[in-house]
Structure 1
Amino acid sequence: MTWHVAEDDLRAYAHGELAPPLMWSADTHLTACAECRARLARSTDPVALDAGWERLDAELDVPRPSLTERLLVRIGVTDHTARLLTATPVLRRSWLLSVLFLLVMTVLAVRLADQPTLFLGLAPLLPLAGVALSYGPALDPTYEMAVVAPLHGFRLLMIRTVAVLTAGLACNGLATLALPGYGLMALAWLLPALALTTTGLALAARLGPVLAPALVGGAWLTVLVVAASDSSANSTLAPFTAVGQSAAAGVALLAALLLYQSRDRFDTRPLGGFHGGDGA
């Protein structure tokens, strides 16, 4: 060794008062220098030395917050809530890029085939799938952390739902801007998206986080198929007419009321944590 830890730094290190990066430098040096370790042992009592190592381990092992997590904390979100939000699977880059790719391909197909129904039928399913993937033991790798978080299950579910919907609706909104020729017709996916998402959440309190959105998504596809079979080639499908939009708004409102009435179920079985995916 060509250098050793200074006496003042060694004393501060022993009392847990040496700040990074000097602390990291001293720690690296101590692992390879028997002389400095001996000096450290002579200058401190064993209890203080053990406490210092414990503080060092805690400092090195603490997870580094991501940029998104730091931004959430800066705007007033608590540490644990910010971590639970950024750990949501569908807020990660891979999911968002997959959604954007799917929307881009759909928009291209619409522009080539002049069939806005392709986009209007797909867009409501993406928020439903995103919310479904944001909770539940079978889908969320951070489920155990969410269960022990100091938050009610329903409140955490709503926080994640708002975050996921914000990201999903933003993606859908960007895709809508790529279809200016259809005017307000290009926004006809919005109310069905809210209706499907709220219905999926309301049923998840009883059927679980996998079965409920699967049934809701299947029901939506069935409605589209039936509407397509009953309409002419150039007419607007029933779900995207004024009557259909009103019905979607009514379903969203009714589902929101049912979800609120079922809120306690998400505390007794946190975040849809049903065994076997059912409500038994």
Structure 2
Amino acid sequence: MTWHVAEEDLRAYAQGTLAPPLLWSADTHLTGCAQCRARLAHSTDPVALDAGWERLDAELDAPRQGLFERLLVRLGVADHTARLLTATPILRRSWLLAVLLLLGTTVLAVHVVGRPALFLALAPLLPLAGVALSFGPTLDPTYEMAVVAPLHGFRLLMIRTVAVLTAGLALNGLATLALPGYGLLALAWLLPALALTATALALTSRLGPVLAHSLVTGGWLTLLLTAQAPDTSTALSPFTTAGQSAAAAVAALAALLLYKARDRFDARPVGGFTDGGAL
């Protein structure tokens, strides 16, 4: 060694008051310099030294915050809530890119065919699928952390749902901008998307996420195949004025039922359901 940690820096290090970058330099030096470690041991109270090493271990083991997580914390979101939000599996880059590709392909098909029915039928299912895939040990790498988080189960469900819906609706909104020729009709997917998601969440409290979302998806596809409105440009009645009104009513009713069933989400960890098993 051609240099050693200065005495005053060594004392500050032991007291936990040495600031970066001197702290990092001292850490690196002490790992390879027995002489400085001996000086530190002889000049420091053993209890204070042990406390200092514990603080160092805690800092080194602390998870590093990503850009989005740091932004949420700066906006006033609690640390654990920000971590749960940023760790939502559906917000990962691979999922977002896949959704963008699917929406882009659908918009291109609409321009070729000249009818928005395909986009309107698909768009409500994407937020629904995102919410369904946001819970459970299979897809969620932070499942154990979510289970032991000091949060009401219903609040955890809402945190994840809002995160997924925000991302999904934003992507759908971008795709809608690529269909300017259809005016407000291009936004007719929004109310059905909210109705489907709210209904699936309300059913999740009794059926679990897999069965509940599967039933809602099947019901939506059945409705599209059977409920025709030949006098409209979409030929799909869910996107008429009456259909939009019905979707709004279903969304409101499902939201009310979901709120009434909120305590059921504490009976088991969110996502820890068996297929078709009640909470």
TM range (shorter): over 0.9
Measure, in 1, the Cα distance between the counterparts of 2:234 and 2:216.
Answer: 25
Could you tell me which residue of structure 1 aligns to residue 127 of structure 2? Answer: 127
- Give secondary structure in 1 for the equivalent of 2:262: coil
Give the aligned residue type for 2:266: D
For 1:151 and 1:133, the matched residues in 2 are separated by 20
- 2:219 counterpart residue number: 219
Q: 1:115 Cα shift?
A: 2.6
**Corresponding letter in the other structure for 2:20:** P
TM-score computed with the length of structure 1 as normaliser: 0.93
- Count of aligned pairs between the two proteins: 279
Percent identity between the two aligned chains = 78
1:257 aligns with 2:264: no
Mapping 1:237-252, distance limit 5 Å: 237-252=236-251
1:2-13 to 2 correspondences below 5 Å: 2-13=2-13
**Post-superposition offset of 1:235:** 5.5
- Is the counterpart of residue 180 in structure 1 residue 185 in structure 2? no
Which of structure 1's runs of 4+ aligned residues deviate more than 6 A? none
CA-atom RMSD, angstroms?
Answer: 1.9
Counterpart residue identity of residue 194, structure 2: L
Q: Aligned ranges for residues 78-97 of structure 1 at < 5 Å?
A: 78-97=78-97
With over 3 angstroms needed to count, the CA separation of the structure-2 counterparts of 1:88 and 1:226, relative to structure 1, is same
Q: 1:67 maps to which residue?
A: 67
SS of the aligned residue for 1:2 comes to coil
Mapping of residues 1-280 of structure 1, within 5 Å: 1-227=1-227, 231=230, 236-276=235-275, 278-279=277-278
Distance 1:277 1:82 in 2: 31
Sort the Cα spacing of 1:233 and 1:82 in 2 relative to 1 into closer, same or farther, 3 A.
closer
- Report if the CA contact (8 A) 1:88-1:140 is conserved: yes
Q: CA deviation at 1:192?
A: 0.7
- Give unpaired runs (5+ residues) of structure 2: none
Contact 2:132 2:210 in 1 (8 A): yes
Q: Distance in 2 between matches of 1:22 and 1:235?
A: 67
Whole-Å separation in 2 of the counterparts to 1:90 and 1:267: 23
Q: Give the Cα–Cα distance (whole angstroms) in 1 for the partners of residues 139 and 64 of structure 2.
A: 24
Residue identity in the other structure for 1:269: R
Could you give the per-residue CA deviations for residues 184-238 of structure 1, whole angstroms, max 9, x where no partner exists? 111111111011100110011111112211111121112112236x858965211
Residues 91 and 167 of structure 1 are in contact (CA less than 8 Å); yes or no, is this contact kept in structure 2?
yes
What TM-score results when the alignment is normalised by the length of structure 2? 0.94
